[in-house]
Amino acid sequence: MIDITLENGPTTTLTEGATVAQALKALNVAADRQVVAARIDGAAVDLSSPLKAACRIVPIFLDSPEGLEIMRHSAAHLMAEAVRDLFPGVKVAIGPAIEAGFYYDFDVPEPFTPEDLAKIEARMAELTAQDQPFRRDELSREQALHYFRDQGEAYKVELLEEIPQDKVSLYQQGSFIDLCRGPHIPSTGFIKAFKLTATSGAYWRGDERRAMLQRIYGTAFATPEELAHHLELLEEAKRRDHRRLGRELELFSIEEEAGPGMVIYHPKGALLRSFIEDFERREHLKRGYQIVMGPQMLKADLWKRSGHWDNYRDNMYFTEVEGQMYGIKPMNCLAHMLIYKSKVRSYRELPLRFFELGTVMRHERSGVLHGLTRVRQFTQDDAHILCMPEQVESEILGVLEFVAEVMGIFGFEYEMELSTRPEKSIGTDAEWDLATNALIGALKTRGLPYDVNEGDGAFYGPKIDIKLKDALQRRWQCATIQCDFTLPERFDLAYVGPDGERHRPVMLHRVILGSLERFMGVLIEHFAGAFPVWLAPVQAVLLPITDRVHGYAQEVARALWDADLRVEVDTRPETLRYKIREAQVQKIPYMVIMGDREAADRTLAPRLRDGTELKGVSLEAFIERLKEESRIPSPASSSS
């Protein structure tokens, strides 16, 4: 007999070998919520798992984030079974749960069509109705290799050959068997609300030199109502897609002949970006940052010294100049450290805050590139703060305050995540502990809640990642604060302390908006391209009705330009209706209609983007209105 204790609850005694499901029933776990799995002493397990010793048990409910993830992973297996049923000979690769959904990669002769997805969905519905149980089997790695080789599943064989463990687990539902750690839901009948959403090509393991597979995306929720709401959000996301809006609003383009991941800014997009850059420079100067600039490439020896060569080389581009190897910079920190080293530093100078709108290049695989949000060349609002150890927490607090103000100005809420030491890293345990504790201390001082993302820090230090939430409540990684005791050591950075001795500074790497490209992509989708007046590349367009008022239109335009307002004049020989419709498509905040009456009265007839019409507005009043709406908003509270 063994004692099974519900977390923060009662204990029951069962015979060894009883299942998790039996234990939860004996513990009277609420029956009005579906339990899909459980945690036994912290480890997630299936409900069918036998209990071998006394333990503490925590149920995982379907309507919890963890329960949804388990159900979605099971839905991926269900989809693979349906595909195998409908497309004999298909080879399966991997099928994980992802945020709000799942996918599975298949090796098939032809891409899947929308009609194929409808058939697969129908077959999945049939399989859920059968309520097939998920069964876990453990066997040796060699047995699993033998099975998948016999099945001709080369992708599973490749994965197995890289697994060091002697024992692996396979899951079966119906006729489908997959290599998987689990856990899974008890049976396919738990999958009641699902939808296949898209297909795409995907290279095996993200490597463009490997086979091109076909990926099917899907989503699943605990209830049909939640699924319907999510599908509505997906449709809204399509409407807001910054790639489509970028073309329609003439902001940017990415041309195949120029190269994937290379952004070409059109006049309106370049104007929007310039506005953001000017805002950034002003805000940094106000906070004691010094603007610096580093070269686009540095000798390979520097990248070896920093650790990038060993830990980041696959993400970098290299070139040779006169027999010397250079690395095109993926980060800006090296040049900033060289500036620091250019002379002897005193503790009285610290902290030093170096800021650069630094353009970097990173080798991203073509399969992960996505509009502005994942590119190969981008610009960061990058800064490095060099300070004494006792100044670290106050500097982190200053950055957190900076982030709060800027996100408040743009109207974003955000969440915090602490990312800890990755497996591939440099520095000592003591240095990592100091850096991690400094970040935690600052978060606690400000009373900010945060999640821990184990093993996702930079190779040189832990970090706070700040994920902003857009209008659809999607999370986007933008701002980050990284605490680094290691690179100052490698580059022998020092300052002369009050005691006249050399001391080692600490370096904080931080961005506020992050990649300007990604931030602009998020902005476009957040506002659905309808930027507020203060951000709009074109704040007003003047629409003269006849040639007779072109002179008046140019006079008004000149007055608006002199007031530092962003205005265009549309003198094309098109109908007024056509010009208004086109301005609405361009999402311009004000359309100013100008006819003979307005010219005679020296007035304007502005039409707002929402259709509101104003009559008889004086030029002076319109300028004052636009200038008022062009002011950068005051920061609003934005932390979650």
Looking at 336-340, 352-356, 412-416, which range is the least confident one? 412-416
Average pLDDT over residues 29-47: 86
Residue 324 in any domain: the answer is no
pLDDT of residue 316 exceeding 80, the answer is: yes
Nearest to 47 by CA among 18, 20, 15, 7: 20
Whether residues 405 and 551 fall in one domain: no
CA distance 85 to 83: 5
- Measured CA to CA, the distance from residue 537 to residue 566 in angstroms comes to 7
Domain for residue 640, yes or no? no
303 assigned to some structural domain: no
Give the chain's domain count.
Answer: 4
CA distance 356 to 381: 6
Q: Residues 56, 73: one domain?
A: no
CATH code for position 404? 3.30.930.10
pLDDT of 260 > 50? The answer is: yes
User: Which residue stretches of 208-257 are H helix?
Assistant: 224-240, 242-248
Does one domain contain both 380 and 405? Answer: yes
Is 411 in the same domain as 492? yes
Does residue 322 fall inside a structural domain? no
Residue 636 lies in a domain: no
Give CA–CA dist 58/78, Å, rounded.
26
Q: What domain range includes position 216?
A: 66-240
Considering the domain boundaries, does residue 256 fall inside one? no
Give the orientation angle of helix 516-526 with respect to helix 267-286, to 10 degrees: 110
pLDDT digits (tens, 9 = 90+) for 16-25: 889 999 999 8
90 and 173 in a single domain? The answer is yes
CB 161 within 8 A of CB 153: no
* Across 292-296, 491-495, 578-582, least confident range: 578-582
Do 485 and 499 lie in one domain? The reply is yes
Asked if the model's pLDDT at residue 640 lies above 60, the reply is no
pLDDT tens-digit series, residues 555-607: 999 999 999 999 999 999 899 999 999 999 999 999 999 999 999 999 999 99
Residues of the chain above pLDDT 90, percent = 80
Which segments within 485-589 are labelled E, that is strand? 495-496, 502-503, 506-515, 540-544, 567-569
Q: What is the pTM of this model?
A: 0.82
Angle at 50 between CA 49 and CA 53, to 5 degrees: 125
Beta carbons of 358 and 334 less than 8 angstroms apart:
no
**pLDDT score, position 300:** 95
Do 83 and 48 share a structural domain? Answer: no
Q: What is the CATH number of the domain that holds 55?
A: 3.10.20.30
For residue 32, the model assigns a pLDDT of: 61
Cβ atoms of residues 139 and 190 within 8 Å: no
Residues 352 and 466 placed together within one structural domain of the fold: yes
Query: For residue 610, what are the CA distances in angstroms to 470, 588, 613?
Result: 22, 10, 9
Residue 6 is assigned to a structural domain of this protein: yes
Confidence of residue 432 (pLDDT cuts 50, 70, 90): confident
* Residue 637: pLDDT band with limits 50, 70, 90: very low
Instruction: Indicate the average pLDDT of the chain.
Output: 93
- Residues 54 and 71 both lie in one domain: no
Residues with a known catalytic role: 333, 362, 380, 382, 384, 463, 509
Task: Identify the band that residue 471 occupies on the pLDDT scale cut at 50, 70 and 90.
Answer: confident
Contact (CB, 8 A) for 546 and 516? no
For residue 625, give every residue at least 6 positions away whose Cβ sits within 8 Å of its Cβ, in sequence order, or none.
Answer: 617
Task: Check if the beta carbon of residue 569 is closer than 8 Å to that of residue 542.
Answer: yes
